[in-house]
């Protein structure tokens, strides 16, 4: 904040709120935020009145730093929660100087911004962008421990998913088993909800990554992509695999081999000091030799998150991203290939160590064929 000349920072990103205060609840469907001031030892939490007790239960904040707005601010045509926020900032004398907001963050709507602009005429509102997200990029030992627990959960959950994709089984019953495994976790530690629901494109749906399930049965001759995450205390370890029922077409078998080779090469290239685009380049050179073209990024930072995304919105493995990899960054490397009417995903979540990259999971890195 000091480097950017920000006196007061407003953060509506639920992961940033959790990271900085511990706040944890599914209340981000109404406006809420935390306020960080250079003048104060603690952030303020501001949200809906009925959620203030959730802040008292889940955060380390002193209770007089928790503010609940009255319920008539909720989804009102005449008043906006940011009116309340602006009044509170005025009361603290924090309505002058430079106030940072997260302009392109989920839940910071155009109306939030307009309301603040109108109600804080003495402040200069600036885009703080992904300032807090970038702090989250390097994980502490405790955060890595949660991600390792999430890895144990996704290993068992992915196996459940692979087992359940079989001819005649309804997609919804497979996902029921996946959710049960994911949420139950292990006997030592329980699981959490994932910031993206299980994704399960099947048949022609594998030509695109973000389709969910229905109640049709799996069919022999079709592929299914499973993109899932294990989650422990909001920390994610995502994984994608592709399952084919019956003898796969040659193009799928061959592409799977290339994708695995490219993924292996990308992971081998990832280490401290290397920039993101170099990791992507290791992938790109591999697939180019086999005539495969992929336009989209092949990975991103992951960890603590809330719906709708388990990515952190910071670094991407793609051309032009010159972010230097550092120890204890954690990335989901997902070089999905989606073509006109078919596709494949095989991914790994990796930990940048002192001298390389270590996958969190131990799960066969291959196309799963059930013949």
Q: Which of residues 144-173 bind a second copy (CB under 8 A)?
A: 170-173
Q: Assess contact for 139 and 118: CB atoms under 8 A.
A: no
Pick the closer one to a second copy by CB: 119 or 359.
Answer: 119
What CA–CA distance (Å, rounded) separates 310 from 126? Answer: 26
In the bound complex, what is the minimum distance in angstroms from residue 103's beta carbon to a second copy? 4
Token pair 């078919």 is found at 342
Nearer to a second copy by Cβ, of 104 and 371: the residue is 104
Task: Give me the half-sphere count of Cα atoms (radius 13 Å) on the Cβ side of residue 103.
Answer: 8
CB contact at 8 A, 344 and 252: yes
**Minimum gap (Å) between residue 155 Cβ and a second copy:** 17
Give the interface size with a second copy as a residue count (CB under 8 A): 86
CB of 164 to a second copy, least distance (A): 11
Per-residue binding letters, 34-53, with a second copy (x by CB under 8 A)? ---------------xxxxx
Provide φ and ψ at 23, rounded to 5°: -55, 130
DSSP 214-265: -SPBP-TT-EEEEEEEEEETTEEEEEEEEEEESSPPHHHHHHHHHHHHHHHH
325 burial type by CB count under 10 A (0-12 exposed, 13-18 middle, 19+ buried): buried
Compute CA 111 distance to the chain's CA centroid, rounded to the nearest angstrom. Answer: 25
Stretch that binds a second copy, among 23-31, 83-91, 352-360, 362-370 (CB under 8 A): 23-31
- Report if residue 63 touches a second copy, rule: CB under 8 A: no
Instruction: Please identify, among the stretches 27-35, 247-255, 275-283, 360-368, the one whose residues bind a second copy according to the rule CB under 8 A.
Output: 27-35
Query: CB-wise, 19 or 306, nearer to a second copy?
Result: 306
Q: Are strands 44-48 and 66-69 parallel, antiparallel or unpaired?
A: parallel
Pick between residue 29 and residue 40 the one whose CB is nearest to a second copy: 29
Where in 87-126 is the site for a second copy (CB under 8 A)? 101, 103-114
Least separation in angstroms between residue 6's CB and a second copy is 16
Q: Which of 311, 330, 360, 361 binds a second copy (CB under 8 A)?
A: 311
Report CA Rg, the chain.
22
H/E element, 142: helix 141-164
- Residue numbers 175-204 binding a second copy by CB under 8 A: 175-177, 179-185, 189-193, 196-199, 204
The CB-side HSE value for 274 (13 A sphere, CA atoms) comes to 23
Q: Which of 5, 40, 57, 219 binds a second copy (CB under 8 A)?
A: 57
Q: Which is nearer to a second copy, 145 or 176 (CB)?
A: 176
Out of 139, 152, 241, 318, point to the residue binding a second copy (CB under 8 A).
318
Pick between residue 343 and residue 359 the one whose CB is nearest to a second copy.
Answer: 343
Contact 51, 58 (CB under 8 A): no
Instruction: Locate 321 and state its tokens.
Output: 């991203």
């Amino acid at each position: 904040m000091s480097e950017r000349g920000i006196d007061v920072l407003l953060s509506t990103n639920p992961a940033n709120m959790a990271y900085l205060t511990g706040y944890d609840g599914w209340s981000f469907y109404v406006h809420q935020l935390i306020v960080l001031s250079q003048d104060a030892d603690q952030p303020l939490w501001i949200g809906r009145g009925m959620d203030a007790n959730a802040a008292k239960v889940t955060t380390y904040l002193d209770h007089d730093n928790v503010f609940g707005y009255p319920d008539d601010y909720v989804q009102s045509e005449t008043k906006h929660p940011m009116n309340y926020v602006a009044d509170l900032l005025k009361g603290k004398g924090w309505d002058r100087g430079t106030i940072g907001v997260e302009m392109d963050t989920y839940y910071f709507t155009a109306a939030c911004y307009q309301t603040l602009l109108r109600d804080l005429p003495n402040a200069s509102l600036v885009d703080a962008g992904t300032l807090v997200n970038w702090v989250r990029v390097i994980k502490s030992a405790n955060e890595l421990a949660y991600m390792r627990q999430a890895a144990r959960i996704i290993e068992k959950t992915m196996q459940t998913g692979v087992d359940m994709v079989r001819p005649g089984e309804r997609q919804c019953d497979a996902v029921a088993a996946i959710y049960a495994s994911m949420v139950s976790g292990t006997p030592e530690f329980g699981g959490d909800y994932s910031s993206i629901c299980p994704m399960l494109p099947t048949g022609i749906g594998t030509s695109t990554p973000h389709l969910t399930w229905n109640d049709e049965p799996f069919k022999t001759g079709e592929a299914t992509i499973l993109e899932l995450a294990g989650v422990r205390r909001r920390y994610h370890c995502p994984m994608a695999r592709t399952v084919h029922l019956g003898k796969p077409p040659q193009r799928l078998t061959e592409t799977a081999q290339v994708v695995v080779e490219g993924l292996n090469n990308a992971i081998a290239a990832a280490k401290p000091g290397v920039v993101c685009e170099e990791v992507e380049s290791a992938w790109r050179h591999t697939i180019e030799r086999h005539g495969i073209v992929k336009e989209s990024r092949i990975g991103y930072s992951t960890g603590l998150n809330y719906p709708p995304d388990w990515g952190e919105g910071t670094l991407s493995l793609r051309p032009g991203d010159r972010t230097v990899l550092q120890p204890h960054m954690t990335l989901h490397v997902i070089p999905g290939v989606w073509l006109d009417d078919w596709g494949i995903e095989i991914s790994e979540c990796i930990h940048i160590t002192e001298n390389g990259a270590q996958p969190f999971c131990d799960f066969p890195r291959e196309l799963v064929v059930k013949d």
